[in-house]
Amino acid sequence: MSGVGKGVAASSIATVLQARGLNVTAIKIDPYINVDAGTMNPTEHGEVFVLKDGLETDQDMGNYERFLNKDLPAINYMTTGSVYLSVIQKERNLEYGGKNVEVVPDIPLEVIRRIKKAQSVAKADVVLIEIGGTVGEYQNILFLEAVRMMKTEYPDDVAVVMVSYLPVPGSIGEMKTKPTQTAVRTLNSTGVFADMIVARSPVGVDRKRKEKIAKFCNVQVENVISAPDVSSIYDIPLHYEQDELSLQLCKILGLSTRKVVDLSAWKRFVNRSKNTNDVVKIAVVGKYFNSGEFVLSDVYLSVLEAIKISAYALNLRPEISYLSAQDFTDATNLKSLKKYDGVLVPGGFGKTGIVGKLNVIEYVRKNKIPYFGICYGMQLAVLEYAQHVLKLQGASTEEIDPTATHLIIGVLPEQREKIAQKDMGGSMRLGQYEARLKKGSLARKAYKADSILERHRHRYEVNPDYVTQLVDKGLVFSGTSPDGRLMEIVELPATEHPFFVAVQFHPELQARPLDPHPLFNAFLKASYEAD
Ligand code: GLN
């Protein structure tokens, strides 16, 4: 079942294995035809997570990086589309030597090739692979076939963990194991047999239920892991270890069980997250929050996690409000922003909510409410400054009005050609780039470094033609590309504003529980301290 938490289950398993001193890497397999997640609408698919080398992926990759506290390479993410694409490209390159290329075995073999490659790139002791979707659906059958083939070839080196849901229907209040039994049977019909069952349920699974599941589902009772609902996903590794998940998995995989599990740093982080200390109130002003009756905070998942992680590091309790930019199109609503300690405008694309975001930025700049702008939130901060401080009539961004008199934000000449050829993906700046930080700036103070590496995902840039004018009127470009052409960080001097910092990149992608992001730390500290 989707939404049952396979991603965090996989991440948590990775964490507890890593805590045994094993070198762990993690792969996500998405059953979509989309070659990557870049073209998917965030309201349908959630956040697009960008890897260091620029691949646009599913948000689960972000969970893996946060839980493992390491960067993962592009080879660790695949979709049905990307696998088919490489098989077809190889066929076109005559790499199959004239033989018939077939769905089975050639598609699963390509999947296996990628898994092995990921292992060798990471020199991993364990490769954790999450197969998206549900057993019994058509879409992931070829990935299950890859599992079957691998298990046949390396019977002692492959362990299959099934994440299954055990409902407790409100009317009877009793946990039901039948759906799991059915799911196991469906899995078995693909030739794949589970070694371990992670039993997701509203409540913990007791010994009696475990025995029942073990008996009906062909697993040892020690290999039924209780995985109740928890208030924070970061509790999950600790829950798994109560059932000795890492020990059992090591036994199944024939790995040494002598090393003790060291989750002390993780435990310290979790304990801090449960504190009841002072609150810091942050408003995130985005455009994707509302979908019918629901608030879709998944779209900004990494931003929300980055805020929480930094708040915990500062021993603060974050209270995050999701505000719709569209609600601020009317300036009378702006006063409500006064109740927040800090305001963050995250990344975004297109026209929707733009007026509202610009209004919000103008308000927090003038009212000295701490502001943190990310990507679009940076471009719009620069645009707002051009409109209201430089008073440039007809200032805009090329994304909204390509014919505007003053294109403060625009496409650089080198990208223009690609866009003309409708190579929209190719025109994006994706992945990690270096930025140099200005002496004496807030950014440099926060990072405690003069050069940084951050991940990008955007098409437009601050137009270099306007930089001098903006600087003359007090805006500080405190981070630029090494050649000085691309504006990476903009801020207002500390004498003007308690905290007004906006960045062209996505710092949230590198915020991790055991390594909080310096800019989020600085933003939250300033928010908490400001009057
Ligand atoms: N829409 C902007 C651009 O393409 C910003 C992108 C973003 O916020 N990720 O440059």
For the chain, percent of residues with pLDDT exceeding 90: 85
Q: How far is CA 16 from CA 10, 13, 247, 309, 367, in A?
A: 10, 5, 9, 20, 46
In ligand 1, the atom with minimum distance to the C-alpha of 377 is 8
pLDDT at 34 over 80: yes
Closest CA relative to residue 377, chosen from 401, 412, 349, 411: 349
- Confidence band, pLDDT 50/70/90 cuts, at residue 423: low
pLDDT computed for residue 188 by the predictor? 95
pLDDT in tens, 44-70: 777 899 999 999 999 999 999 999 999
105 preceded by cis ω (within 30°)? yes
- The answer to whether the CB of 91 falls within 8 A of the CB of 72 is no
Q: Tell me the C-alpha distance between 275 and 315, whole Å.
A: 7
- The answer to whether the CB of 198 falls within 8 A of the CB of 162 is yes
DSSP code string of 201-253: ESSPPPHHHHHHHHHHHTS-GGGEEEEE--SSGGGHHHHHHHTTHHHHHHHHH
Which protein residue's CA is at the shortest distance from atom 5 of ligand 1? 376
End-to-end CA separation in angstroms for the chain? 47
* Helices 6-18 and 245-253: angle between axes, nearest 10 degrees: 80
pLDDT at 291 over 60: no
Q: Tell me the C-alpha distance between 504 and 220, whole Å.
A: 51
Which protein residue's CA is at the shortest distance from atom 6 of ligand 1? 458
152-157 LR contacts (CB < 8 Å, sep 24+): 156/253, 156/254, 157/253, 157/254
pLDDT at 287 over 90: no
Q: Check if 414 is active-site.
A: no
At 35 the three-state DSSP class reads coil
Q: Check if 217 is active-site.
A: no
pLDDT at 425 over 80: no
Q: Name, in order, each residue with C-beta under 8 angstroms of 96's C-beta and a sequence gap of 6 or more.
A: 90, 106
* Other C-beta atoms lying within 10 Å of the C-beta of residue 96: 14
- Confidence band, pLDDT 50/70/90 cuts, at residue 42: confident
- Confidence band, pLDDT 50/70/90 cuts, at residue 171: confident
Q: Name, in order, each residue with C-beta under 8 angstroms of 189's C-beta and a sequence gap of 6 or more.
A: none
The burial class, CB within 10 Å (0-12 / 13-18 / 19+), for 489 is buried
Using the mean position of ligand 1's atoms as its centre, give its distance from the Cα of residue 32 in Å: 24
pLDDT computed for residue 49 by the predictor? 96
- Confidence band, pLDDT 50/70/90 cuts, at residue 169: confident
- Confidence band, pLDDT 50/70/90 cuts, at residue 30: very high
Q: Tell me the C-alpha distance between 306 and 196, whole Å.
A: 32
Closest CA relative to residue 366, chosen from 498, 174, 218, 485: 498
Q: Tell me the C-alpha distance between 331 and 193, whole Å.
A: 59
At 2 the three-state DSSP class reads coil
pLDDT in tens, 219-248: 999 999 999 999 899 999 999 999 999 999
Structure tokens at 509: 């992608």
Using the mean position of ligand 1's atoms as its centre, give its distance from the Cα of residue 475 in Å: 21
Q: Tell me the C-alpha distance between 56 and 430, whole Å.
A: 8
* Other C-beta atoms lying within 10 Å of the C-beta of residue 215: 12
Mean pLDDT value across residues 19-39: 93
pLDDT computed for residue 412 by the predictor? 81
* Helices 103-122 and 141-153: angle between axes, nearest 10 degrees: 70
Q: Check if 388 is active-site.
A: no
Half-sphere exposure of 163 toward its Cβ, with a 13 Å CA cutoff?
A: 23
Mean pLDDT value across residues 487-493: 98
- Confidence band, pLDDT 50/70/90 cuts, at residue 170: confident
Mean pLDDT value across residues 83-108: 95
The single-letter code of the amino acid at 108 is P
pLDDT computed for residue 2 by the predictor? 55
Using the mean position of ligand 1's atoms as its centre, give its distance from the Cα of residue 36 in Å: 18
Closest CA relative to residue 125, chosen from 21, 209, 222: 21
Structure tokens at 244: 């000795």
Q: Tell me the C-alpha distance between 448 and 198, whole Å.
A: 42
- Confidence band, pLDDT 50/70/90 cuts, at residue 372: very high
183 alpha-carbon distance from chain centroid: 29
Mean pLDDT value across residues 131-143: 91
513 preceded by cis ω (within 30°)? no
Q: Tell me the C-alpha distance between 428 and 67, whole Å.
A: 28
pLDDT computed for residue 240 by the predictor? 96
- Confidence band, pLDDT 50/70/90 cuts, at residue 292: low
Using the mean position of ligand 1's atoms as its centre, give its distance from the Cα of residue 388 in Å: 22
Instruction: Calculate the average pLDDT of the chain.
Output: 93
pLDDT computed for residue 174 by the predictor? 84
Structure tokens at 95: 């790499």
- Confidence band, pLDDT 50/70/90 cuts, at residue 426: low
Say which residue the tokens 């490209």 belong to.
Answer: 89
Q: Tell me the C-alpha distance between 488 and 428, whole Å.
A: 15
Q: Tell me the C-alpha distance between 435 and 420, whole Å.
A: 28
Lowest mean pLDDT among 39-43, 87-91, 458-462: 39-43
pLDDT in tens, 305-344: 999 999 999 999 999 999 999 999 998 999 999 999 999 9
Lowest mean pLDDT among 212-226, 238-252, 279-293, 494-508: 279-293
Q: In 267-405, at which residue ranges do the beta strands (DSSP E only) sit?
A: 279-286, 290-291, 294-295, 317-324, 342-345, 371-374, 395-397
Ligand 1 interacting residues, C-beta cut-off 6 A? 347-349, 375-376, 379, 399, 457-460
pLDDT computed for residue 37 by the predictor? 87
pLDDT computed for residue 296 by the predictor? 62
pLDDT at 295 over 60: no
Q: Name, in order, each residue with C-beta under 8 angstroms of 190's C-beta and a sequence gap of 6 or more.
A: 135, 141, 144, 145, 148
- Confidence band, pLDDT 50/70/90 cuts, at residue 416: confident
The single-letter code of the amino acid at 244 is E
pLDDT computed for residue 40 by the predictor? 79
Mean pLDDT value across residues 84-96: 96
pLDDT computed for residue 45 by the predictor? 73
In ligand 1, the atom with minimum distance to the C-alpha of 409 is 10
Q: Tell me the C-alpha distance between 349 and 354, whole Å.
A: 9
Give 530's DSSP letter.
-
Using the mean position of ligand 1's atoms as its centre, give its distance from the Cα of residue 379 in Å: 8
434 alpha-carbon distance from chain centroid: 21
In ligand 1, the atom with minimum distance to the C-alpha of 375 is 8
pLDDT at 388 over 80: yes
- The answer to whether the CB of 7 falls within 8 A of the CB of 133 is no
Q: Tell me the C-alpha distance between 448 and 8, whole Å.
A: 32
List 375, 398, 406, 456, catalytic entry: 375
* Helices 178-188 and 207-217: angle between axes, nearest 10 degrees: 30
pLDDT computed for residue 99 by the predictor? 93
Q: Name, in order, each residue with C-beta under 8 angstroms of 481's C-beta and a sequence gap of 6 or more.
A: 433, 434, 435, 436, 488
pLDDT in tens, 431-486: 999 999 999 999 999 999 999 999 999 999 999 999 999 999 999 999 999 999 99
